[in-house]
Structure 1
Amino acid sequence: MPIISFGSQDIDLITGKKTMTIRKLWKNPLKVGDRLHCYWNLVSKEKKKIFEAKVTDVQLISFKDLKNNDKLAKEEGYENSQDMIREFKKMYINNIDDEDMFQIIHFEKLDIDEWEGEHIDEKAMVTQRADILFDSGKYDKSAMCYTAALKFDPNDIYLLNKKGDNLTRLGKFEEAIECYDKALEIDPDNEYIWNNKAIALLNFGDSEKALDANDKAMDLNSKNSVVLYWRGFILEVLGKFEEALDIYDDLLKIDNKNPEVWNARGNLLSEMEMPEEALDSYDKALELCFDEEDIDAEAQNRKGNALLDLGRFDEALDSYDMAIEIAKNNSQDPSYFILNKGVVLMELNRFQEATEAFTQVLAINPNNDDAKVLRDECLENL
């Protein structure tokens, strides 16, 4: 019973697009008609049977002829032959010589009713794989898996909603809206799907229709904190600041321990040119981040902006320094925060330090025009 293990580069197996694999020649070579039992990551915790198949063709190729064959490498799921050979060297820990032979195995997936071994719930297996890929941010691959899962049941609301979420993250908003619409035809009373449609419409640039979709979600549950949060954001985009502020305040009556809502409220108040009130919201957001990992650089930067607007330059400097430190620790680009720090240093007439800050920005991004102009202005004041 030949067993083959596949890995993350083999997503096309699930969708049925891939029916070939390349393996080093076994002691008992495969032949046409052999049955394959195929697993996902056989030696890991994620081990999962994915299908059984029948071998339809086997071709032999030497490593010498294989190692520079980009066409075969791409069919096997790699970017190029170098990537494929790199993986082969991990798979086959002994050295691979030019004379070593490999099998190009073509197969046909069998209907589950024809399996000899354990039967599985294929839809559940594909859905689980899609969810894992989605949660790890591999949206291209998870989209393919959700599409494959929907072949088992085109009217599965969970899958239609998740595929919509996936397409939204890929920036394919029209396709996402189509998924949500199909799900809503089946379950028109699902507030979460109406809200997800609103988010897709907002990202697509249709804020009015986004508000209409959010209205439908609100009609179904006006106390849903997720729906309320996005309503505030949509109203803010539409320039309806007072209404948005009322929404954020309503949200905080439901849960005043949510740092994201306090941050959003702070951003809105900054937009409304109310820096003192914005600063109070930012401070509350940071106070509620009990885990230091939850305090991001952008939150510190926003607090610095509010302090800058209030003319509290020394405190603003502290906030920007913290933003820079957090960004560096998280391997983020700190240049925007360093630029803001430079602006505060100029306000404090510390032109030498400001010049150094703008020079740091230009070292990271030589095309930053703001840093160039501000550095030149500093040099004139030295």
Structure 2
Amino acid sequence: MRFDIVFSEKNLAFESFTPLSDYIFSTNNILVEDYFEFSRYLNPGLDKLVDNPKLSITSAAEFKHRIRFFHFQKVYHVFNFFFHFLIDTVQKKEDRLEIYFYNCNEMLEYDVMLVDHFIDRLSNIPNNITLYFDECNSKIKNAAYVSKNTHQNHTPKVKQKNFWDKSNKEKMFQRAMNLALYEDAIRLGTELFHLATTINDKCFLADKIGIANVLYDRPHLAENYYHFVLDQKCNTEIKIEVLYKLSMLYSRHHPVEKLDAKKAENYLLTARSLIEENKDELGESYTFHKVFNRNGLSLLLHRKGEFETAHHYCIDGHEQILNTYGPLQHILHRSVLIYNSTITATALKKFDQALDQFDYLLKLDPYYPNYWVARANLYSQLGQFDKSVHDYTQALALNPFSEGLYCARGIVYEVMGELHQAKADYEQALYFNPNHVDSLLNYGVILLNENELDHALEVFNKLSLLETNIQHEVFNNIGLVFMEKNDVNSAIHSFHLALNLEPDFYTALINLATAYFIQDDKIKALEIINNAIKIDDNVDSLYNRAYLYSEMGQLEAALADIQAILSRDENHVDALELKHSIKTKPIKSY
């Protein structure tokens, strides 16, 4: 079966892939309702097919009332949903798919992300799907696959269907903002910005385009839009909101070197003055703006370690919103304040209060997976691992397409000693994202511990080819695999690779010393273990050196290390046994 996918710079995210989404939904009608949160990305018309979707307060909030927007990487969960059911449909129908891509140089950035992820998925599992490209877009990371699978650029056989009402730019802009499709949002918002006829409309759009740029990792562009608003004589509420967002830029979103807590606080203080000066104009929204301005200050106070005041602001703010507006208004804003209070209560080690707040929060918004994850993390911190697993499982029921959630639950299972479940979770994470770094690392370690050495080496070698900040750990683990395979020379080479990247990597130094000891190069082993002890002179490293000294016949040096160990732990069994064995030998001096 052949599908032709035609890219166009004028398309919106997922629009080019309509033939494939039609193929999926034609045999999976339940997807629309059961997975509405994800399926609605593939066709805007699906919104009309589900009357009461199970959406979180955040997802269901009207555009004009939104205060929380997702980061654009949320779309990877939609990719996982899309590919999972595409592959599942192919297997059920026993089809063989050939997918031809046209106009690849007109790919949107989201198209590039989707295609790269698609290629990664296909490389990891058996399937009957092959992708062909008319040309290689320079942004595609899997260029080797594309080069191998090129086709002659004939006219596409399938005419592109269009379910996107692009004539209604405002509706499509709101949809793009709500679904974290910020490439679309920036383009559509910019068009609407230039078409706007009133200054309030321009400022409203500038505010939202700023948000889109922040969450698309372009905070410097967002700041330009925010300052445009401040330079205009526009609606006071828009200025208050923009000042809040400028504060968040300098406290959270800018690169680390540009963060400035003082500047962030000044923006909030300017907003506070604006709120008080315009109390009458703000009317019933006065309390709301006052509370949320203070919520911004609570974030800054929390970062300065002033947890008690920050906590008071969150608790009191929620009470003010609830008492002023009742239980049916500003529910999203209330949920944010309650969630923030769990963070401040945890910082104060008021864990019972934090858990009470989570209970309240999850009754208010049971469909927001992030809240289940946050409580799962708290339960892990408290050592209540069964409850942590329960909450991760609840989050996965809401979003079964998140590799990060499977990995997080797998880590908890490992702590519990439930290695079979941990391994299964890492495998599921890698099914969705074959390059998920933490899952590859943790999965490889389990394979190593289970003596599945060839498989472990395969996993670690794959991880070594990825761009990560843990390459030193990866090469150390490769060295451990070679040690178990009795290939000491290869192990030594791998440990040196780890230390070339991280010269003070204590674990690799200890492992390298062990490898040289096995090779009977005790002088080299001693040199390396001395370097390790300079980094961390813990009792284990001292014992290792003491044992090495004893093997080299340097018994006085060995006894000195043993004495240092026993001064810290007088009942250290291994040190006492080594001391006893040395005392039975004549002491030699060299």
1:379 aligned residue: 583
Alignment of 1:288-307 (within 5 A): 288-289=501-502, 295-307=504-516
The Cα of 1:380 is off from its aligned counterpart by 2.6
Structure 2 partner of 1:272? 485
Q: Is the CA contact 2:314–2:341 (under 8 Å) kept in the aligned structure 1?
A: no
Counterpart position of 1:246: 458
User: Which of 478, 485, 500 is the aligned partner of 1:287?
Assistant: 500
Correspondent of 1:226 among 438, 444, 447: 438
Of the three residues 297, 314, 318, the one matched with 1:50 is 314
Judged with a 3 Å threshold, the aligned counterparts in structure 2 of structure 1 residues 42 and 195 are, in CA distance, closer, same or farther, namely: closer
Task: Write out aligned runs for 1:1-382 (5 A).
Answer: 45=304, 48=310, 49-52=313-316, 110=319, 112-114=321-323, 121-128=333-340, 144=355, 149-255=361-467, 258-289=471-502, 295-327=504-536, 334-381=538-585, 382=587
On the 8 A contact 1:251/1:261 being kept in 2, the answer is yes
Query: CA contact under 8 A between 1:202 and 1:234: conserved in structure 2?
Result: no
**TM-score normalised per structure 2:** 0.42
Q: Provide the C-alpha distance between the structure 1 equivalents of 2:500 and 2:551, rounded to a whole number of angstroms.
A: 28
The change in CA–CA distance for 1:352 and 1:220 in structure 2 (over 3 A counts) is same
Distance 1:308 1:206, change over 3 A: same
Give me the whole-angstrom Cα distance separating, in 1, the residues matched to 2:354 and 2:487.
42
Following the alignment from structure 2 to structure 1, what is the Cα–Cα distance between the partners of residues 354 and 513? 39
Q: Distance in 1 between matches of 2:453 and 2:424?
A: 17
- Measured in 2, the distance between the counterparts of 1:260 and 1:186 equals 33
1:290-320 deviation digits (Å, cap 9, x = unpaired): xx7xx34333222222222222212222222
Q: Residues 355, 252 of structure 1: CA spacing in aligned structure 2 closer, same or farther, 3 A cutoff?
A: same
Structure 2, unaligned stretches of length 5 or more? 1-290
Query: What CA distance in whole angstroms lies between the structure 2 residues aligned with 1:354 and 1:320?
Result: 13
SS of structure 2 residue aligned to 1:154: coil
- Give the Cα separation in 1 of the matches to 2:363 and 2:575: 53
Query: By how many angstroms is 1:149 displaced?
Result: 4.8
1:80-119 per-position Cα deviation (integer Å, ceiling 9, x unaligned): xxxxxxxxxxxxxxxxxxxxxxxxxxxxx83523259xx9
User: Aligned in 2, Cα 1:311/1:150: closer, same or farther, shift over 3 Å?
Assistant: farther
Structure 1 residues 124-149: Cα deviation after superposition (integer angstroms, max 9, x where no partner): 34545656888x89795896465665
| Greater C-alpha radius of gyration | 2
How far is 1:172 from its partner? 2.6
Deviations 1:149-183 (A, max 9, x none): 54542332122223323433443322121111101
CA contact (8 A) 1:191 1:220 kept: yes
Q: Per the alignment, in what secondary structure is the counterpart of residue 316 of structure 2? A: strand
Amino acid at match of 1:254: L
Q: Quote the Cα distance in structure 2 between the aligned partners of 1:184 and 1:213.
A: 11
Letter in 2 for 1:155: Y
Q: Is the 8 A contact 1:131 1:142 kept in 2?
A: no
Equivalent residue, structure 1, for 2:211: none
Q: 1:339 touches 1:371 (CA, 8 Å); kept in 2?
A: yes
Structure 1 match to 2:20: none
Task: Give the letter aligned to residue 263 of structure 1.
Answer: N
Q: CA deviation at 1:355?
A: 1.1
More helix by share: 2
In structure 2, the CA distance between the partners of 1:247 and 1:176, relative to structure 1 (3 Å rule), is same
1-structure distance, mates of 2:578, 2:390: 47
Cα deviation for residue 345 of structure 1 reads 0.8
Maintained 8 Å contact 1:165/1:196: no
Q: Output the CA distance in 2 between the equivalents of 1:350 and 1:360.
A: 16
- Within 1, Cα distance between the matches of 2:390 and 2:573? 41
**Deviation sequence 1:53-98 (CA, Å, 0-9, x none):** 9xxxxxxxxxxxxxxxxxxxxxxxxxxxxxxxxxxxxxxxxxxxxx
> SS at 2:315's partner residue?
strand
Contact 2:545 2:561 in 1 (8 A): yes
User: Is this contact kept in 2: 1:164–1:175, CA < 8 A?
Assistant: yes
Q: Which secondary structure state, in structure 2, belongs to the residue aligned with residue 307 of structure 1? A: helix
Alpha-carbon contact 2:479-2:490 (below 8 Å) kept: yes
The residue type equivalent to 2:420 in the other structure is: E
Q: Using the alignment, how far apart are the partners of 1:205 and 1:168 within structure 2?
A: 14
Letter in 2 for 1:369: V
Q: Tell me which residue corresponds to 1:15.
A: none
Which residue type is aligned with residue 475 of structure 2? W
Question: Whole-Å Cα distance in 1 between the matches of residues 545 and 387 of structure 2?
Answer: 42
CA contact (8 A) 2:341 2:354 kept: no
Stretch of structure 1 that moved more, 138-147 or 155-164: 138-147
Q: Could you give the per-residue CA deviations for residues 254-297 of structure 1, whole angstroms, max 9, x where no partner exists?
A: 248711211222233333333322222222112112xx7xx343
Taking the aligned partners of 1:165 and 1:142, their CA distance within structure 2 comes to 15
Aligned partners of 2:345, 2:518: CA distance in 1, in Å?
43
Any idea what SS the aligned residue of 2:314 has?
A: strand
Report if aligned partners of 1:352, 1:378 keep a CA contact under 8 Å in 2. no
Bigger drift between 308-317 and 245-254 goes to 308-317
* Distance (whole Å) between structure 1 residues aligned to residue 394 and residue 580 of structure 2: 57
CA gap of 1:43–1:265, structure 2 versus 1, over 3 A, is: closer
Change (3 A) 1:254 1:324: same
Per the TM alignment, residue 227 of structure 1 is displaced from its structure 2 partner at its CA by: 2.1
- Pick the structure with more strand per residue: 1
Is the 8 Å Cα contact of residues 147 and 163 (structure 1) preserved in structure 2? no
Per the TM alignment, residue 374 of structure 1 is displaced from its structure 2 partner at its CA by: 0.9
TM-score scaled to structure 1, two decimals?
0.63
